[in-house]
Amino acid sequence: MDWQRHLLAASGYLELGMIEDAARELMEIDAEDRGRNEIIGFCVHLYSQWQRWGMAAAAAKRMVEVDPGQSQWWISLAYATRRHESVERAEEILLEARKLHPKEAIIYYNLACYACVTGRLDQARERLNTAIGMDESIRALAREDADLRPMREFLDL
């Protein structure tokens, strides 16, 4: 299980902020093992930290396909897609994710952000209130999020 050793080393590098070293470590993994879900899942995080949004979106899309029950893959896909393509496309992804994960507060939170940055403040307020109703800690995130700045005066943030 040589790939596991390389993945562990890459994880260590990534935790230290040594992104290029983490990527080089992944290249040491045999080609037939690079397609493993564990490796692709790690790449989602690596490419996101590296701000390689197209690559992050591609890796997250693969993880959504193989593990749609894990909400984090949907959230990662939407996040990368927003930066690589558009807010509108990212919103489409999370609307689909919401069907599978209706109790995931962070999905509603991100949908609130997308509505706010596209000028739909009423919809943003509704989505944010839903997210906060599910998880009160979301309120603290909302206070600091630049995406939600236009609606802070409307909410008790």
List the domain boundaries for the chain. Answer: 1-90, 103-157
Tens digit of pLDDT for each residue in 126-145?
Answer: 999 999 999 999 999 999 99
Q: Tell me if 58 sits within 8 A of 48, measured CB to CB.
A: no
Could you tell me the pLDDT band of residue 151, with boundaries at 50, 70 and 90?
A: confident
pTM confidence score: 0.91
Look at the alpha carbons of 43, 19, 9, 11 in this order and tell me if their dihedral is positive or negative: negative
- Is the model's pLDDT at 118 over the cut of 70? yes
What residue type is assigned to position 48 of the chain? S
pLDDT of residue 155: 65
Look at the alpha carbons of 48, 52, 58, 59 in this order and tell me if their dihedral is positive or negative: negative
Query: What span, in angstroms and rounded, lies between the C-alpha atoms of 72 and 140?
Result: 20
Q: Tell me if 37 sits within 8 A of 4, measured CB to CB.
A: no
A 10 A CB-CB count for 38 gives 11
Residue carrying the six token digits 């609307």 = 95
pLDDT of residue 152: 77
* Long-range contacts, stretch 145-154, CB < 8 angstroms, 24+ apart: 145/113, 147/113, 147/114, 147/116, 147/117, 148/112, 148/113, 148/116, 148/124, 150/116, 150/121, 151/116, 151/121, 151/124, 151/125, 154/121, 154/125
Residue carrying the six token digits 């509505």 = 115
Pick the CATH number of 1-90 from 1.10.155, 1.25.40, 1.20.120, 1.10.287: 1.25.40
- Is the model's pLDDT at 121 over the cut of 60? yes
A 10 A CB-CB count for 142 gives 22
pLDDT of residue 62: 98
Tens digit of pLDDT for each residue in 1-55?
Answer: 799 999 999 999 999 999 999 999 999 999 999 999 999 999 999 999 999 999 9
pLDDT of residue 66: 97
Could you tell me the pLDDT band of residue 69, with boundaries at 50, 70 and 90?
A: very high
